[in-house]
């Protein structure tokens, strides 16, 4: 059974940092390009970043709204995807989902982890 | 960035109706395009990839079509479980961009 399980969300003050994790199982994580997608409360979906497989260079791309503050990384030895979030703003509040990159035929999503940025 | 303009933003329909949702891209996408369904409190789920390919397990009443800059999702006969919010996504160019969503409600 495929599972993507996010963790690490919570309440953080503006300017603070948080690291989200996404533990993958049930598919070949090492070959997968992975993305993070977020959703502000009551709003639509926003793609925020992607990391290629290490075999494809392990490079990253980001949305302009998060570039320089959020960064995606992976540890294939742990089958885990990360989202390091620095200099957090109130507008970063929302549900954060990890997902296989849309370029893949398979479509896997985690259940999401909630990040609240508030003083 | 590629802008995805999705219409309508909301739609009321009845069980059994045929429904079409449209996404227009600000530039051509080849076939790097898909449709997603999201129900309240749940993660999104992809219905269609590469414009017209149905994801495994998705009922055949869903279909995708289009090319270039205009794409459509059609539900041929609405079922109660189809009432949800639908999003399009382009992954031709970074940053990937979603449409703003179409909320499909029961009439």
Position A65 pLDDT exceeds 90: yes
Judging contacts by C-beta atoms under 8 Å, the chain B residues touching residue A45 are: 36, 38, 44, 87, 89, 98, 101
Q: How much is the mean pLDDT over chain A?
A: 97
What pLDDT is recorded for position B11?
A: 96
Return the structure tokens found at A72.
Answer: 């995606």
Under 8 Å between Cβ of A45 and A105: no
Asked if A13 and A115 count as a contact pair (C-beta separation under 8 A), the reply is no
Burial class (CB in 10 A: 0-12, 13-18, 19+), A5: middle
Q: Which pLDDT tens digit goes with each residue over B4-44?
A: 999 999 999 999 999 999 999 999 998 999 999 999 999 99
pLDDT above 90: residue A48: yes
Chain B hits for A46, CB-CB cut-off 8 Å, are 98
- Average pLDDT of the segment spanning B63-81: 97
| Residues of chain A with C-beta less than 8 angstroms from the C-beta of B101 | 44-45
Residues 5-64 of A with CB under 8 A from B: 35, 37, 44-47, 50, 61-64
Chain B residues with CB inside 8 Å of A37's CB? 44
Report the percentage of chain A scoring pLDDT > 90.
100
List, for residues A77-112, the tens digit of each pLDDT value: 999 999 999 999 999 999 999 999 999 999 999 999
Closest Cβ opposite residue B55 in set A45, A97, A107: A107
**Could you tell me if B69 and B26 are in contact, meaning their C-beta atoms sit under 8 angstroms apart?**
yes
Percentage of the residues of chain B whose pLDDT score is greater than 70? 100
Quote the pLDDT of residue B5: 98
Q: Mean pLDDT score of chain B, rounded to an integer?
A: 97
What is the end-to-end Cα distance of chain A in Å, rounded? 40
pLDDT of residue B107: 87
User: Min CA distance, B25 vs chain A (Å)?
Assistant: 16
CB of A110 less than 8 A from some CB of B: yes
């Amino acid at each position: 059974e495929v599972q993507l399980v996010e963790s690490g969300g919570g309440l953080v003050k503006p300017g603070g940092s948080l690291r989200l994790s996404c533990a993958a199982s049930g598919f070949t994580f090492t070959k997968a390009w992975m993305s993070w997608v977020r959703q502000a409360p009551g709003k639509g979906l926003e793609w925020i970043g992607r990391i290629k497989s290490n075999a494809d260079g392990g490079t990253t791309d980001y949305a302009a709204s998060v570039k320089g503050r959020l960064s995606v990384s992976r540890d294939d030895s742990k089958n885990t995807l990360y989202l390091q979030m620095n200099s957090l703003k109130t507008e970063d509040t929302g549900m954060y989902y990890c997902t296989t990159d849309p370029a893949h035929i398979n479509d896997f999503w985690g259940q999401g982890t909630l990040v609240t940025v508030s003083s | 960035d590629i802008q995805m303009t999705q219409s309508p933003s909301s739609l009321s329909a009845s069980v059994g109706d045929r429904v079409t949702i449209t996404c227009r891209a600000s530039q051509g996408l080849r076939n790097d395009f898909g449709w997603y369904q999201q129900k309240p409190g749940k993660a999104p789920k992809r219905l269609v990839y590469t414009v017209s390919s149905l994801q495994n397990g998705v009922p055949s009443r869903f279909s995708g079509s289009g090319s270039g800059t205009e794409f459509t999702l059609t539900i041929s006969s609405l079922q109660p479980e189809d009432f949800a919010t639908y999003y399009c996504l382009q992954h031709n160019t970074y940053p990937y961009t979603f449409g703003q969503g179409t909320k499909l409600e029961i009439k």
